[in-house]
Amino acid sequence: MGLKAYIGFSLLLIVVIGITAFGIEGGNYEVKFFDFSLNLPVVAWVLLPMIVLFVLSLLHLIFYGSVNYFKNRAYLKDEETILESLKTFLLQKEEKNRLSTNGFKTVFNILSQLKLDVKDNTFTSSSEELNKIVSNIKDIKAGKFVSEKEIKLDSNSELAKQNLINKINEQADYSLDILKRSEQYPEEVVKIAFFNVLENKAMTTIKKVYENVKLDKEMAYKLFLKDSENIEFGFTKDELLKIIKPLNYSKKEFITLAKLYKEVLSPDRILELFETLSEENEEALDAYLYILCELEMIDSVRDILSGHDKNELVAFRALIDLKEAGKQYSLDNISYNN
């Protein structure tokens, strides 16, 4: 029974009983208590307990009705909050506990310890905003760039990083912007942007931005590949030295570099480059000797070998012995171990 119906039926009952009581006894009745006396109509004495009970029961209903109203309101508000929290968790953002009901607090605490993700199958819910967020996340995971206007991501999240990588892959010019401000982005993102620029931009453009990037060996090698394919616009000796020196190449890596450039650089340029490298880094000596052998500068090789112990640089000594025996071999034809 609703509150309005309860009030209506209660008042109707009071009126009916009052009329009935008045019809039976219309006189007065006096109540004395020590020096206090109260004289009221009989009908008033009949109705007074009913009215008091009605008022108290009405207050009781209003109180507990208010309590239930605020509980339900808190429940509905927490239901909305937990839905917003789901969106926040999916977007990999930090979320604070803003819940008031114990049940939803428990759900929130569990969710906050889990990593929520979306499945590949169709997602539907009663929340259009949640449906849109899930759709955008699926697009990002599929390699599509989603505009910042469409989805608000925490810039430090993996999802934001993936979306940034998607943008780099879709927009080559944006990769240049990343390299110009490389210190503001994670190394992984900068690396992908760098490879994107190498693939899509001319060497003249690359030379304007490569110094903004801290190159690792993989990045440097791909840069050298690009340089070797565009040697007319390529690096000078000093530029190459500046790139190579911080990389701490091994003997094998210097040999690989020598093989890369031996066909594209003039003999004078490649000799000058690797001579300088070998003077500054002993690990580059093998590569310098390799270049000398490739250019058939055997006397220069002998001069260098004469300054080292016979147990050192064995591969080159073997190559010289083979040449002296009339066998035409290159270092690539014999076993070479560092």
Burial of 189 (0-12, 13-18, 19+ CB in 10 A): buried
Q: Is residue 112 part of a domain?
A: no
- The answer to whether 47 and 18 are in contact (CB under 8 A) is yes
Q: DSSP string of 141-156?
A: HTT----TTT----TT
Q: Given this model, what pLDDT does residue 331 score?
A: 66
Q: Does 99 lie in the same domain as 16?
A: yes
Q: Does 178 lie in the same domain as 152?
A: no
Q: Given this model, what pLDDT does residue 1 score?
A: 60
Q: Given this model, what pLDDT does residue 338 score?
A: 43
Q: Given this model, what pLDDT does residue 95 score?
A: 73
Answer with the one of 248, 267, 298 that is the final residue of a domain.
248
pTM of the model: 0.69
Q: Is residue 97 part of a domain?
A: yes
Neighbour-count burial for 21-44, b at 16+ CB within 10 Å, e otherwise: beeeeeeeeeeeeeeeeeeebebb
Hey, how many other C-beta atoms are within 10 angstroms of the C-beta on 209? 19
Give the integer Cα–Cα distance in Å for 282 and 273. Answer: 14
Q: Does 71 lie in the same domain as 15?
A: yes
Q: Does 199 lie in the same domain as 175?
A: yes
Q: Does 210 lie in the same domain as 123?
A: no
Q: Does 333 lie in the same domain as 259?
A: yes
Upper half-sphere CA count for residue 279 (Cβ side, 13 Å): 7
Q: Does 332 lie in the same domain as 278?
A: yes
Q: Given this model, what pLDDT does residue 337 score?
A: 47
Tell me the average pLDDT of the chain.
84
Give the domain range for residue 10.
Answer: 3-105
Q: Given this model, what pLDDT does residue 129 score?
A: 85
Give the integer Cα–Cα distance in Å for 300 and 315. Answer: 16
Answer with the one of 248, 265, 282 that is the final residue of a domain.
248
Q: Does 331 lie in the same domain as 269?
A: yes
Q: Is residue 162 part of a domain?
A: no
Q: Is residue 200 part of a domain?
A: yes
Which backbone phi and psi does 28 adopt, to 5 degrees?
-105, 165
Block means of pLDDT (10 residues each) for the chain, 338 residues, are 78 82 72 76 79 85 77 75 78 75 78 74 80 88 89 86 91 90 91 93 92 94 93 90 94 93 92 94 92 88 84 81 70 55
Answer with the one of 210, 232, 248 that is the final residue of a domain.
248
Q: Which residue type occupies 306?
A: S
Give the integer Cα–Cα distance in Å for 44 and 39. Answer: 10
Q: Does 98 lie in the same domain as 13?
A: yes
Q: Does 141 lie in the same domain as 91?
A: no
Q: How many folded domains does the chain comprise?
A: 4
Give the integer Cα–Cα distance in Å for 86 and 133. Answer: 10
**31 forms bridges with which residues in the sheet?**
38
Q: Does 16 lie in the same domain as 93?
A: yes
Q: Is residue 165 part of a domain?
A: no
Neighbour-count burial for 246-265, b at 16+ CB within 10 Å, e otherwise: ebebebebbbebbeebbeeb
Q: Given this model, what pLDDT does residue 124 score?
A: 79
Q: Is residue 328 part of a domain?
A: yes
Q: Is residue 111 part of a domain?
A: no
Question: In angstroms, how far is CA 4 from the centroid of its own chain?
Answer: 56
3-state secondary structure of 132: helix
Q: Does 329 lie in the same domain as 275?
A: yes
